[in-house]
Amino acid sequence: MVEERFKKIYTQGKLNITEILVDQETGVHYIFHLSGYAGGMTPLLDKDGKPYIQDVDKMNS
Q: Report yes or no: 23 and 6 within 8 Å, Cβ to Cβ.
A: yes
8-57 pLDDT, tens digit per residue, is 999 999 999 999 999 999 999 999 999 999 999 999 999 999 999 998 88
Helices (H), ranges, 1-61: 56-59
Q: Report yes or no: 6 and 24 within 8 Å, Cβ to Cβ.
A: yes
Helix (H, G, I), strand (E, B) or coil at 20: strand
Strand-pair category, 29-35 with 6-12: unpaired
pLDDT, position 60: 67
Domain residue limits, the chain: 1-46
pTM of the complete model: 0.85
pLDDT, position 56: 83
Reported confidence tier of residue 1, pLDDT bands at 50, 70, 90: low
